[in-house]
Amino acid sequence: MLTKRIIPCLDVKDGRVVKGINFLNLRDAGDPAETAAAYDDQGADEVVFLDITASADSRDTQLSWVRDVASTLFIPFTVGGGIKTTDDFKAILREGADKIAINSAALMNPDLISDAAMKFGSQCVVVAMDAKRIEGTDRWTVYKNGGRVDMNMDAVEWAIKAEKLGAGEILLTSMDADGTKAGYDLELTKAISSAVDIPVIASGGAGKLEDFYTAVEAGASAVLAASLFHYKELTIREVKEYMKERGISVRL
């Protein structure tokens, strides 16, 4: 059985880690480099760092943040937010990131996925998806600009296309579940993970230990959380021990 990964997410705005509910009402949750170093010490498998307003503000990810965070880590490190070109990929990878997450730019220019995969390898191209259920249906639509703009695009179809273009991984965030602590959107996780062969990281909604387990059972290769870890409601060690007790392969 492949080892399942536990990944803390650092949403960053104006140089600080923040966390909200349904992408709104953001609260300060600490310094990015200090938070990342603490997660490394706790046994996180990876860290994801998202500049959550870069695309909406039409600016690049600030490389100094990437440099500071990367300098503290000995585990894989993904960076996303405001990345529009393969030159952006190159600049961020040079600063120490292992993978690049693209969302809005990939939606507007799908060729960016294939171009980046060709230049840097599929393993470092992560397509991030912010998906919201279409009311009254069993379908989801994809949003760009940090959940601000509905693309009227079917989430499952977009995941399939992203894989065909060369994405190595999908970071799947449920906008409906984000920050609610009511559990991951298992239907969405199952729909996407069963449609593609690449790893799917479930994001949005973790509230208790059981939620991590059920997301993996729904097909997720990795589970991502932010507020639970930031506010020390659960530790990464607790999550991993819970998973191991239930027969899920994790790295302790």
> Which of the residues are catalytic?
11, 130
The partner residues of 10 in beta bridges, in order of sequence, read 49
Structure tokens, 138? 């069993």
Nearest Cα neighbor of 142 from 180, 106, 187, 186 is: 106
* Side-chain-facing half-sphere of 129: CA atoms under 13 Å: 34
Q: Name the E strands within the chain.
A: 5-13, 16-21, 24-30, 47-51, 77-80, 99-102, 125-133, 140-144, 149-154, 169-174, 200-203, 222-225
Q: d(Cα 29, Cα 55) in Å, to the nearest integer?
A: 21
**Dihedral, CA atoms, 202, 160, 59, 119, nearest 10 degrees?**
110
Cα–Cα dist 137/125, whole Å: 30
Which residues lie below 8 Å from residue 194, measured CB to CB, with a gap of 6+? Answer: 219
DSSP state for residue 148 in the 8-state scheme: T
3-state secondary structure of 191: helix
